[in-house]
Amino acid sequence: MNAWILMVLALLLPTVVAAEEGKEGEPKVAYISLSPPFVGNYALDGSPKLHVYKADVALRVTGDAAAAAVKHHEPLIRNQLVALFAQQGVDNLSNVDAKEKLRQEALKQVQQVLEGEEGKPIVEDLLFNNLIVQ
């Protein structure tokens, strides 16, 4: 009897797995955190006051292939974002609207980098999990 049950389970198992894959066959949304966080100086306009930022950034992608492509190109993405953050002035990081514009510009630049490397933008959104400026 036990052998019969095992045989039936062995025959049904691929069907159950296929059904689960069908449900999960839709591409999954993933959030890729770029770590370590970005930390650096900005607004280097010759003033004696040092301006520092810390940004925790996450990228939203859909599908395992997109996540793998972002991970593969992470050094290039980080380089682009560091350059963008360093170009900011005090006014660009002083309020919510300015930070939203920075987020949109960062997304645009990440998408341009990936468009050049992969032929498509891949990243759907860029999120600041944390953005601290002093």
Span 60-76, average pLDDT? 96
Q: What is the pLDDT of residue 85?
A: 92
Phi, psi of 92 (to 5 degrees): -70, -15
Phi, psi of 85 (to 5 degrees): -65, -40
Domains of the chain: 29-133 (3.30.1130)
Q: What is the pLDDT of residue 94?
A: 80
Integer CA distances (angstroms), 91 to 9, 43, 98, 102, 133, in order: 65, 9, 7, 11, 11
Least confident of 4-8, 19-23, 42-46, 86-90: 19-23
**What does the CA dihedral 98, 104, 106, 27 come to, rounded to 10 degrees?**
150
pLDDT band at 15 (very low <50, low <70, confident <90, very high): very low
- 3-state DSSP assignment of residue 36: strand
Answer whether residue 19 shows pLDDT above 80: no
Distance (Å, rounded) from C-alpha 5 to C-alpha 24? Answer: 28
In single-letter form, the type of residue at position 115 comes to: E
Answer whether residue 25 shows pLDDT above 80: no
Distance (Å, rounded) from C-alpha 67 to C-alpha 32? Answer: 7
